[in-house]
Structure 1
Amino acid sequence: MNRAALPLVCLLLALPLSARAEGASEERTWHRLIGILQYLEADYPLAIESQSEFELAEQKSFAAEAVDAASGLGPSAAAFLPRVKAIQARVDQAQDAPGVSRDCGTLVEDLVVAGGLARSPRRPPDLKLGEALFRTNCAACHGADGRADVPIAANMEPAPANFQDAELMGGLTPYKAFNTTSFGVPGTAMPAYPTLSEEERWSLAFFVFTMRLPPCEGTPPSASLERLANTTDDALVKEYGQEHLACLRRKLPDADEERSLLVAREGIEDAMRKGAAGDIAGAKAAVLDAYLNGLEPVEPKLSSRDPALVRKLEEGFLRARLAAESGSPHLRDEGRELVTLLDQARRSTGSAADLVSTMWLTLLIMLREGFEATIIVAALLAALKKMKATEHVRVVHAGWISALVVGAIAYVLGRHLLAGAQREWMEAVAALLAVGMLLYAALWLNARSNMSQFMGELRQKMQGALGRGSLAGLFFISFTAVLRESFETAIFLQGLALDSPAGVAWGALLGVVAILVLVLFINRVGYRLPMKTLFNASTVILVVTAVMLLGKGLHSLQEVGALPLMPLRFITVDLLGIYPDVVSLAPQVLLAVAPLALLLLRRRGRAQRVSEVSAG
C-alpha cells in the first residue's frame, strides 16, 4: 500500500483516540480499540509488503495506541491486554504479518462479546437524512458527488477520501464508517462529530456506500441490518451477485423479526443501566419485558432455524434475571453476553428457508408435538372399544377436534393476540388444566382395572363407570390432552409460514397423515391387548404425560414471572418438560412418586387383609 493511498483508507477506518481522553465513555473506548485492531488487521500486512518506513512507523504508533486503549479500560479488559501487547511486540519488530492480521480479527470478535457492543443500527438508517447530513457536513471537502474533486481538497494532506472509488469502498463496512464519524481521524482534517446522534451517524455511514451505486431496480435479497452493517461491498457481491448490490445498500430491511430482537436488546441494556443504579426491581422487570416482548414473539422461528442458539438465549435470560433479582454486579457481564447472542440471532434474520426444508421441519414439529396427545387419545379409544362402549367414542373425537379448532384460531390470531406473556400464560393454563384431567383419566382407568377383579360382567361395570359425568370427563380429557400441543404447534407453524407457506402446508398434510396412521395402529393394537394390560399401560402413559406437562406449565409461569426461579445443577430436556429448577422439578418428582407410593400402600393393605383372613 503506497503512502498516497493511505489517507483514503484512514478516512473510513475507526482509529483510536487516547483512552485517557476526558469524557470518553467506556463503550466509546471499546469501539476505539476495535477500530484500531480492524485497521491493523487490514493494513499491517500491506505495510510489511511495502517495507515503507513511514507506513511501518505508523503501524507501530497504532499498536501503541491499542495498548493504551486496552489499559484505559481497566479490569474489564485486563484479560485482553496481554494479547494486545503480543500484537504490539510483533508490529514493533515488523514480523508475522499473517499472524498479526489473524490475531487482530479474533481479538475483535472477543472484544465485541466482552463489551456487549452494538455494531449495527437500532433501526433502519434514513438514507435521505444521511444525504442531507452529507451535504451539510461533508460535501465541502469530499464534494457533492463524493469524488473529493474540489479546490480545497487539493490543499489537504492527506487528501479526503473518494467515495466513488470502487477499490476503496469495496473493502470497507458501514460500521467502520460509523466509527470514523464518531471519533474522527487524528492527524488529518477529518473531525469527530459528537454533536450528531447515533441514528444520524448511522444514516450518514450507510449513505456514503450508496453514492457510487446505480438506482435500485427490483427487490433486494433478504439480509439483516446487522449483516449489512458489518459486511463489505466485495463480500456482498460475492454472496449475492453484483446485480443485487445497489438494492442491498439502497433498500434497507425493516423485518419484524430483527425489530423484535432489537426490542430485546434495548431491554437488556436498560436492565444493565438500572442494575448499575441499584434499581433491582426495575432491572428484573426490564429483563422480563425484554424476554416476553422481544425474544418470545420470534422464538418459534428462531427455534426452527437454530435451536442451539435459542437454548443459549434462554439460558442467558435466566442468568440475567437471577443476577437482576439478587442485585448481583454480574448482571453487567451476563447482559453483555446476552446482547452478543441477540446480535448473533439478528445476523441470521432474513435468511428464508426453502420449501423442502420448511416442509420437513413442519412434519417433525407436528410429530413431536402431537405424539403425546396421539398416544392419549388412542389409549382412550382403545379402552372404550375394549369395554364395548363404542357409543362414547364420539365424545373423545369431539374433544380432540375442538382442541384442533382452538389451535387453528391460535394460528390465525396468534401473532396479534397471543404473543409474549399472553402466549406463556395460555400455555401454562392449558398445561396445568391438562395435568388435572390426565390424572383424573389415570385414576378412572386404574379404577376400571381394579374393578375387573371383582366384577364378572364388563357391561355391568360400564353402567356404573360411564355416567353423564364420565362423558364430560372423557371430553375434557381428550380436549386438554390435545389443546396445549395444538396451540404450541400453531405458534411454531406460524413462524415457519413466514418463510414458506407452501412448505408449511405440505408438511402439515404429511404430519396429519402420519398421526392418523399412528392413532389407527395404536387403536388396533390396543383393542387386541388384554384389558388389564391395556389399562395399566394407559395409566402409565397418562401419568408420565401429566408429569411432563406439569414441568412445562410451571416453567411457563416462571417465564412470565408468576413463579420464582430456584435453579439447580441438573439436565434440561425440553421435550420431556424437565428443567433444572426446584420450582418445576420438585412437584414433578412428587407427582411421579405418588402413584408408586399408592401402589405400594395398596399392595401392603391387600397383603395385610390376606394374612388376617388366613389367620382367622
Structure 2
Amino acid sequence: MLLHPLFRTVVLLLAALVGTAVSATASAAPSDVQTTWQMLNYMSVDYSGAVANGKVVSQSEYGEMREFAGSVRQQIAGLPPSAAKADLLAKADRFVAAVDRKESPAEIRSLADDLGNDLLKAYPVALAPAHTPDLARGASLFNQNCASCHGEKGDAKTAAAAQLNPPPIAFVDRGRADQRSPFALYQVIGHGIPGTAMVSFSNLPAQDRWDLAYYISRFAYPASLASEGKSIWDSDAQVRKSIPDLAALSSLTEAQLAAQIGESRAPAVIAYLRANPAALASQGSPLSLVRTRLQESLQAYKAGDRDKAKSLALSAYLDGFEPIEGSLAARDAGLLARVETAMGELRASIGRGDNADEGLEALLIVVGMLAFLKKGGRPDMVRPVHYGWTSALLAGALTWLAATTLISISGATRELTEGFGSILAAVVLLFVGIWMHGKGQANEWQRYIKQRMDRALSKGSGWFLFSLAFIAVYRELFETILFYAALSAEGNAGAVIAGAVAGAAALAIVAFVMLRFSQKLPVGKFFTYSSALIAVLAVVLAGKGVAALQEAGLIGVAPLSHVPRISLLGIFPTGEVIAAQVVTLIALIVGF
C-alpha cells in the first residue's frame, strides 16, 4: 500500500527523531561538578545500606542509589569537552552497570572514589564539607599522620623532613598560605603529590580530610590575628556577606578576599574563620538551605531550565537534608522516610519534565475519541467517553486523598502504574491509528459507513471507549497528583495551587480549540490528521512506558552514551527505550 503523503512525512520524521537519538551526542548542559562529586561520595558510603551480598536490603535506598548513579552519568555527559571526558563517561557507564548488577559495597566504593577523583582532576571545582570542620579532630589526625614530616607547628623542621627531597611544605609560610584555600589542601590530602613523599590519604573519610585541611590552613595565622578578625567579622555586615557559607570559605584564598575587602583586613578575617568555621555555620541552618534550594529549584523549573532545577533539588538533599538525617531518624524515623520519599518524587518528576506535558497526552486522546464519534454519526456513544474521563478525575481525587493522608505511594508504584498504563495506551493507539489511516480516503470512509456502521459500535464498544478514556486520563492524572504531592512538601502551597489552576485553564483552552477545529475538517482529512497524531503518541508512549518500567527496576538498563534525553518525545538514553520505539515505528509503517 502506498503511504499517504502526510503519513509518509510523519513516519519519516519519527524515524529521523529516533535515528538522531541513536547517533547524536548529548548537548552539553551546565552541570554541577560539586553535586556530582558529592553524589559519588554519598553512594560510596551509603550503598551498603541498600545492597548486601548481591541482594537488595532496602528497596527505597536501592532506588535512590540507581537514581543517583544515573544522575552522575547524565551530569558528566553534560560537562564541557575535555581530553578526559570520554574516559569519565566510560567509567560512569561501568559505575551505573555495577549498581544495576547489585555489586558489593566495596566494589561500588572503589568505582565511586575512582570516578570522583578523576572528575576533580579533569574539572577542578570548589567543594565544601558536609559538616562544620572539627579542628580538634583535625589536630589528632595531623599528629598521627603528618607531624613527623611537617612538624607539630607546621614548620617542617623535623629530622624526617631533613632526609626528604624535595622537602615537605612548611605550612607556616605566609607567602604560600596567601594562595592556598582549604579545598586546595583537601585535594592534596586526597590525591597526594606524585614524585614526593606526600602520599594520598584517600582512605580517610571525606569529613576527616576536611577536618585535617582546615586544621592545616590555620598554621600561617597567629591567634592574635584571629582575635582581630573576630572583631571585624562581628562588626561588619558587608564582610559577612562576602563569605556567606562554608562553600565560599572552603574555596577562598587570602589573596581573593583581599581583592574584596582590602589587604589590611583579609588576613585577620581568614585567620578567624579558619580557626572558627562554626561562625559560618551559625548563619543558617541545614533546613534553611533545603528550603532555599527547593525554592531556587522551583524557579528554575518554571523558567524551563530542568537541568538546573534537578541540580538544585539534588543540592537540597545532599547539602541540606542528608547531613541531618541521623538526628532526624533518632527523633522521627517516619518523618524521615516521608521527606526522603517526597524529595525523591520531586527529583524524578523534574527529571521527566512532569507537568510540562502531563494532561496534554490524555487530552489529545479524549478529544480525538469525541471528534471521531461525532464525525462517525454516533453521538450516542459519546457518553461512555465522558463517563470514562470523569471517573478518572474522581479516581484521581481519591488518589490525592490517599497519597497525602492515608498511605505513602512509593516511587516504584508510581513508575509501574505509569509504565504499564503507557504501554497499554500505546498498543491501543497503535491499532486505532492503523485503523483510522485506512479510512483516511473519502471513498474508503463511505464504503465503511455503508458496510460496517450498523455494527461498528456495539454495546461492548461502549465499555471499550469508557476504559480507554479512563486509562488515558488516569495515567496522566496519577503521575500529576504525585508530582504535586511531592512539590507541596516544599511548603509553597499557594504557588503549587496557582500552577495547577493555570495548567487546567491552558488545557481547557486547548480542548476547546481542538474540538472546534475537528468539527470543520472534512471526514477524510480528519481521519488522516487524527491517525498521524495517534501515530506520534503511540511512539512517545511506548518510550515513556519502557522508561518508567526501567525506573521501577522491572526492566534492565542498557545505557546509550550518545543518546540525548528528549522526554517530550519519549526518548531516553537506553537501548530498551529506543528498541520499543523502533518496533512501534515498524508496526506503523507496515500497518499504514
Instruction: State TM-score, norm by structure 2.
Output: 0.49
Instruction: State TM-score, norm by structure 1.
Output: 0.47
Higher relative contact order (CA 8 A, sep 6+): 2
